[in-house]
Structure 1
């Protein structure tokens, strides 16, 4: 029996949903309509996601010229800021992307049906109507032809509140968190790290508001506008770094100030572009969909806390080994995450396309799109592995001249290179799950993965030291991929149609 238009050869494998992942694998790089759609969404999203880590790497390169202690201090602070930020920003941008994509897809379907029923009558009542199981709102047009996007207003209000709360939290608890991360009261790292973290936290509201705006653009399948804004903002960061760090002699504080300025610049550009196309003020308070955001946000909050817990524990264990292991770990972790985030652009494309397909109940496109982005993820991961293996020796010298730090970095690079296909799949599986609005499974599976991985971190770091931390992080990413395979491979949850 056919499901959603899936062809008969595919239906013969209906009882083996795992085979979906291998569907049309010979066409993985085919330049067809789906391939073009993935590239048009994924490539700008990838470049946008890469821009901030690249800017952070350039920050790290400048700071590395000051000294190993400064590099380690900033490393701990960046790790803390990033982990706290991920707790709020990933749920916000992921939920906004899915909700806006659903609203956009349903609006187009509704308009098409109205055109069929009404014919040439353009005086159609565009009031909000219930959707089929995935949302109760849709996108309409205002009198000045701007879009009314119900999820956009909610996302921006929530982003503003979360940003302010994050700033207050980091400023008030900076010293205590640094102590927890292994920076002792008599450590030369403490004062530098605390000052950097405090200054960097002032940019949290801009970051959260920018991410909310990016979620709206992604849901509308426009990833170019965020890319342009991020390029301008991060370029300003890179230009300000040498001026503030060396010319004005502000040191690591100058790097923090440059980053904050760049984040507010990105926010202003995104809001300016958003206001031109979207009505941000809802006509009534009831249009603010806080209930929907909180329900799905809770699930993703659990997932993100679980994920960040692993990274935080790993960073803490590295910091306890001393400034030089921490400096090496910080640089390598940034390279590891920066290269892996290339696959996150694929995840964004997969999420937007799948959210639209699920809203329309177009199961044929759901299967084709999911398999394609996962297959491209494997290809991308293999390519990154070869590139990193080739440039590892050269890349390490860009960040420091310290012999001990370089030695530890050279130990890390094999792990970074080999795990790229695994990391790519882990990120893309997240996008696939978000596109299916499978937030509950994402949360529950990640809790189990995190508990197992943190146990491995403590056990392996105590027995193998610095190397043990990287082995445990490799196990962490492998378990994330297994969780994604398990859901689709067994045809459970939103993927139950694969067993029909």
Structure 2
């Protein structure tokens, strides 16, 4: 099947139409962060390192809430939308029970007594007045309302947590009370945390649109916000003389703009006020979200620990690590576009019990992921040596960046496969396996990080991160390759 990897058949076009805009949206925010980094690098290496620690801390705390929320929302919405589009003649009494997952180990996403028309039936008086057309235009997707409620609550909690605990959290990250990085780091983190509610809400809404297989709307909103951020950066930082505070304010304003745009678009497509609280199905959201929360806490701890270990080696090491990490994540997130396409298409296929399409989709997105990773490795291996000067002119920092380039470039194929495997397994609603396997892997990586960073310093951290991503990819391959869990139907093919 390898020769069909780039074939633009019906499946290939469906993947491309979802993956390409999603990939661009995923990379827009890291690119905006890279622009922040480039502007801040012109102020000095201390400020660059300080903002690097703050961005790492903010992003990792955000991921604890964002990743479970967005992933569960995408699967819920894709399944509800798919089931809602299946005609009554095509449905059977078990479609909703087995559509969410064919693995008895996992809890169903959509309960047995749920009907895609269930919440809408409560609106029958409206339909009786002849407004069926409006009902069809504004879809009844309870998970969309659930995502917004949970996103708003988590955003407020995150903002409160980061603002009130900025100094001790930065101390934990290796920025001591006597460090010159503490002042600018605390200023940036406190101001940027004001945007946490907007970040959580916007990403929850992106999860809804991805469930509809619409990744263009989030792309347009994200680009509008990030272009605003890039324009405001030099104005606040240099014209108004706010320095790192200006960078944080520009970023916060851009995030609220993204949220407003997405909410405006979503209200045109979805009825966000279900007939009653029970239709929000918060219980199913929280059960599956907690499984992914376990997973993302493990992932977050590993990445945050690596940044903390780099910070403890000094501002030069941290500044170089920040640049390498931002590039590493920005390019690797291109593969997340394929992961989103795989998740949305697979969730819909499993809901309809179309296992032939599920198999073809998983195969295609994994092949594309490997190809993308190889291309990224070649581009970064050649380009980053010349592009590093965009972020800093400090000779010591540039030397450290050159040491990290082989790892940043060489791990791209591994990273791409790991991200795509995540999307494939989420599309199969295999949240339990994803959670428990990641917990096991991180229990091995944490001591590895301490050992290698102690013995080999900056290089040791990147060796440990390479091992970490390799194990993530291997875990995804094992699940599908052995035909276990939701993939047990593969044994009969």
TM-score range, shorter chain: over 0.9
| Secondary structure of 1:66's aligned partner | coil
1:105: Cα distance to partner? 1.1
- Partner Cα separation in structure 2 for residue 424 and residue 113 of structure 1: 37
- Deviation, 1:112, is 5.8
Q: Aligned residue for 1:209? A: 201
Partner Cα distance (1:457, 1:65) in 2: 31
Tell me, in whole angstroms, the C-alpha distance in 1 between the residues paired with 2:318 and 2:140. 48
Q: Which residue of 2 aligns with 1:97?
A: 74
2:364 equivalent to 1:342: no
Q: 2:168 aligns with which of 176, 185, 188?
A: 176
Gaps of 5+ in 2: 101-109, 124-130
CA RMSD of aligned residues (A): 1.5
Query: Residue 187 of structure 1 corresponds to which residue in structure 2?
Result: 179
1:413 aligned residue: 405
2:324 is matched with 332
What is residue 131 of structure 1 aligned with on the other side? Answer: 96
Distance 1:130 1:422 in 2: 36
Q: Distance in 2 between matches of 1:196 and 1:270?
A: 26
Please name the residue that 1:45 is paired with.
Answer: 22
TM-score (norm 2): 0.93
Map Cα deviations across residues 56-104 of structure 1 (whole Å, 9 max, x no partner): 0000000000000000000000000000000000110110000000111
Shift of 1:374: 0.3
Corresponding residue to 1:395 among 387, 392, 397: 387
Q: How far apart, in 1, do the equivalents of 2:351 and 2:2 lie?
A: 26
Cα distance between partner residues in 2 of 1:187 and 1:360:
57
Q: Could you report, residue by residue, the CA deviation over 1:413-456 in whole angstroms, capped at 9, with x for unpaired residues?
A: 01011100000000000000100000000000001111111111
- Equivalent residues of 1:138, 1:149 under 8 A apart: no
1:258 aligns to 2:235 (yes or no): no
**Which residue matches 2:477?**
485
Structure 2 matches for 1:61-100, cutoff 5 A?
Answer: 61-100=38-77
Deviation, 1:282, is 1.0
Check conservation: 2:95, 2:352, Cα contact below 8 A. Answer: no
Are 2:441 and 1:476 aligned? no
8 Å CA contact retained: 1:74, 1:196: yes
* Shift of residue 111, structure 1, vs aligned partner: 4.9
User: 2:448 maps to what in 1?
Assistant: 456
2-structure distance, mates of 1:184, 1:112: 66
- Aligned match of 2:150: 158
Counterpart selection for 1:268 from 260, 263, 282 = 260
Q: Is the 8 A contact 1:167 1:202 kept in 2?
A: yes
Give the TM-score normalised by structure 1: 0.91
**Aligned twin of 1:358:** 350
Q: Distance in 2 between matches of 1:110 and 1:179?
A: 58
Aligned runs of 1:244-323 on 2, under 5 Å? Answer: 244-323=236-315
- Per-residue deviation, 1:132: 2.6
CA-to-aligned-CA distance 1:176-221 (integer Å, 9 cap, x gap): 1100111111111111111110101110100111111111100011
Unaligned runs of 5+ in 1: 1-23, 118-128
SS of 1:250's equivalent?
Answer: coil
In 1, Cα distance between the equivalents of 2:408 and 2:321? 11
Deviation track 1:224-248 (CA, whole Å, cap 9, x = no partner) reads: 0010000100000000000000000
Structure 1 SS opposite 2:87: helix
Q: Which residue of 2 aligns with 1:31?
A: 8
Tell me if 1:109 matches 2:86: yes
User: What's the offset of the Cα at 1:393?
Assistant: 1.4
CA distance in 2, matches of 1:257, 1:282: 35
CA distance in 2 between counterparts of 1:157 and 1:481 reads 33
Aligned counterpart for 1:241 among listed residues 233, 236, 239? 233
